[in-house]
Chain A
Amino acid sequence: MFDTFTLAPLPPEDEAIRPQIRAFIEREIAGMPLAKRARTWMGFDPEFSRALGREGFLGLTLPKAYGGQERGPFARFVVVEELLIAGAPVAAHWIADRQSAPLLLNFGTEHQRQKHIPAICRGEQIFCIGMSEPGSGSDLASVRTRAERTPAGGWLVNGQKIWTTNAMHSDYMIALIRTSGSAADRNAGLSQLIIDLKAPGVTIRPIVDLTGDAHFAEVFFENVELGDDALVGNEGEGWNQVVAELAFERSGPERIYSSALLLDAWVRHVRAVGRTDCAALIGRLTAELATLRAMSIACTARLALGESPVVEASIVKDRGTSFEQELPVVIADDLAAHPDEAVDPELYRTLTYLTHISPSFSLRGGTREILRGIIARGMGLR
């Protein structure tokens, strides 16, 4: 079962990027406090993203003809791994670099590619993904936001998206929208459209989360007029395009490292106070991290072969987010099991931030239950 999902090495030429990206990160975010770093892909810093672009750390999987580095998924794995382990603020380029640019490369027109991909590789165009709606979460095929053809050949969009990560900071949204039929037609009649978020009729309201941050937003479309170049790929093919896109979102190391800097900070604490009573726990977490890393590299190897490893990516994401969510739970218990031990306030803030935000880890990019359904189908069930 899943016979091609096996251990794969990181090619040495991709591993060779590590010292460069590490030096860049150390230079750019030295002194950033731990709890701020814990935001990682919620951390928004457009100047940081543009600097990454200048240094050639964006567009690693994209062709040189469109401003990319043409290095492939393994190079991206190394760069992303270093960014996440350090807790670098990557939100300003994250979605565009990971999903939007590959989507446009695969399905976009030449005009769309030229307009967006080079700018994404420079860290200058920020994208968000419009999927969820008030009545449409895991049941994505039930989206109600509609686009109708205008006499001029363009599109008129009406509806609402919600929980859209970074919408208030983004230049464009690639939205999954109904272009024909009704909700009863399920995934038929859905299309992906690029929406310029500065267009008249677009209203964006940030939503504050339980940590006090506002990383997502609701977005309203009221008679938003788009040109005929707004459609990505084929009309009515939006569902299949989204499924292919989600494999990019689910397979990366971002699904195992969201709490990794908490693990490191806790290990530093344990070493500083000279305790060894939690060695077995540290060993278990270390083994799990090593195994997940190998699984994520194995999944990257399928991407590098040009496959769309939908099931493999779901396995990595479900297991990876479980690990990310377990870390604050067990670390909190360990620290509070030693009430007479002083804990650095920054460690405590980071721990609490991750405790509160970690439920979102297994929601964003597809819920645990949806992913397990995908895996079950891959096993031949249903």
Chain B
Amino acid sequence: MNELLEPFVRMLESIAAPAAVRAVEQGGSADAMWAEIAVSGFLDALVSEEQGGAGLSLAEVEPLFGALGAHAVPLPVGETMIARALLAQAGVAAPDGPIALATSAVSGQVVPCGLVADHVLLDRGDALALVAAADLQVAPLGIHGALAARISWQDALSGAVLPRPADGLRPVAAALRAALIAGCAGQLCTMTSNYANERVQFGKPIGRQQALQQNLAVMAEDMIAARIAAQLGCAGGLDISLAAAATAKATTSGIVPRFAATAHAVHGAIGVAEEYDLQLLTRRLHEWRLADGSEGYWNELLGAKRLESDASTLDWVRAEVFA
């Protein structure tokens, strides 16, 4: 682990232990947790050094996103990092609190961490708007433990306006979701293989059954594919290419159903128990799969773009995804 990631993970372990995550999910205050994160300075990781940030690239910050996913952090930390970088680029002063990302111009959309955000950076279609949560209708989804909210508005949106990236806010949000999924999948892989080594049935650990080993190996393959796809998505900087974002999000979202199913299948009944930590992670996997476009959305978009070109698949991905 490098000198950037190690203190970040140490901080998350101290402030976002499973009990703390549950407390926020059950309506407790996240203020103390947020204060620790804010004072750490990590929120300005993507802001340039001239503007007082750490000047890190998206690729350098990607492992931090992964750690947020692995710890099921119940706050929009990655979202706020991205928002603060975009605000700084536009010369707009960033507010202190958590900022969620809303990547559709449509009222009534579901926004991850919407319940615990003070502001929402919203893609209006013509520009980005930094809207105070108090100026929006922020409605809980009525789903146990969910911190995502349905946000709506009637009148014109208030708040500071900044330029919209060429392809909008969705590609960079999708790259963040991809990294969250990948980090979460890494944690689930470790949890699930540990459990398989501990749980004894038929006189031996279930992890010694070939049938389970085969399924767990596929889980590891999915985890690695998600990790590397997320890294591909974050390799090119904040102004992320549509094809790289699509590859990252389509691949990571695509692994979720099988991956979460195997994690639960290996754990048996205890995996769906509220008091067991597995569900903190698998519920998030499902949420992030759908957030900012599922695999179906990004596959369609990627395929349509690919069909515009007469290049070979290799040349096309070299130019569009690996560039």
Distance in Å: Cβ of B317 to nearest Cβ of chain A: 4
Q: Are B302 and A315 in contact (CB under 8 A)?
A: no
Q: Are B306 and A286 in contact (CB under 8 A)?
A: yes
Q: Are B213 and A381 in contact (CB under 8 A)?
A: yes
Distance in Å: Cβ of B292 to nearest Cβ of chain A: 15
List B contacts of A271 (CB < 8 A). Answer: 307, 310
Chain A contact surface mostly: helix
List A contacts of B250 (CB < 8 A). Answer: 283-284, 287
**Is B322 at the interface (CB under 8 A from chain A)?**
yes
Q: Are B314 and A260 in contact (CB under 8 A)?
A: yes
Q: Are A294 and B232 in contact (CB under 8 A)?
A: yes
Q: Are A372 and B213 in contact (CB under 8 A)?
A: yes
Closest to A296 in B: B228
**Is B224 at the interface (CB under 8 A from chain A)?**
yes
Q: A1-B190, A372-B213, A373-B213 are in contact. Are A284 and B303 (CB under 8 A)?
A: yes
Q: In the complex, A99 Cα to B190 Cα: how many Å?
A: 33
Closest to A82 in B: B314
Distance in Å: Cβ of A65 to nearest Cβ of chain B: 34
Within 8 A of B (CB), among A286-309: 286-295, 298
Q: In the complex, A287 Cα to B297 Cα: how many Å?
A: 13
Q: A286-B316, A286-B317, A379-B189 are in contact. Are A291 and B232 (CB under 8 A)?
A: yes
Q: In the complex, A290 Cα to B231 Cα: how many Å?
A: 12
Which of these, A5, A278, A378, A381, contacts B303 with CB under 8 Å?
A: A278
Q: In the complex, A315 Cα to B220 Cα: how many Å?
A: 8
List B contacts of A285 (CB < 8 A). Answer: 313
Q: Are A294 and B228 in contact (CB under 8 A)?
A: yes
Q: A295-B224, A382-B213 are in contact. Are A283 and B254 (CB under 8 A)?
A: no
Distance in Å: Cβ of B187 to nearest Cβ of chain A: 9
Q: Are B313 and A286 in contact (CB under 8 A)?
A: yes
| Chain A 254-282 interface mask (CB, 8 Å, partner B; 1/0) | 00000010011001101100001011111
List A contacts of B128 (CB < 8 A). Answer: none
List B contacts of A36 (CB < 8 A). Answer: none
**Is B214 at the interface (CB under 8 A from chain A)?**
yes
List B contacts of A298 (CB < 8 A). Answer: 228
Q: Are B216 and A7 in contact (CB under 8 A)?
A: no
List A contacts of B76 (CB < 8 A). Answer: none
Which of these, B207, B221, B247, B317, contacts A381 with CB under 8 Å?
A: B207
Which of these, B216, B302, B303, contacts A376 with CB under 8 Å?
A: B216
Q: In the complex, A43 Cα to B247 Cα: how many Å?
A: 32
Chain B residues within 8 Å of A, Cβ to Cβ: 186, 189-190, 193, 196-197, 207-208, 210, 212-214, 216-218, 220-221, 223-225, 227-229, 231-232, 235, 246-247, 250-251, 254, 295-296, 298-307, 310, 312-314, 316-317, 321-322
Q: What are 7 A-B contacts with C-beta separation under 8 Å?
A: A1-B186, A7-B231, A7-B232, A267-B307, A276-B307, A291-B229, A381-B193
Task: Identify 10 new A-B residue pairs, CB closer than 8 A, beyond the known A260-B313, A287-B251, A372-B214.
Answer: A279-B299, A283-B301, A284-B299, A284-B303, A287-B250, A289-B313, A318-B221, A371-B217, A376-B207, A382-B207
Chain A residues within 8 Å of B, Cβ to Cβ: 1-2, 5-7, 81, 85, 260, 263-264, 267-268, 270-271, 276, 278-295, 298, 315, 318-319, 369, 371-373, 375-376, 378-382
Top 4 A-B pairs, shortest CB-CB distance? A283-B303, A279-B303, A283-B302, A283-B299
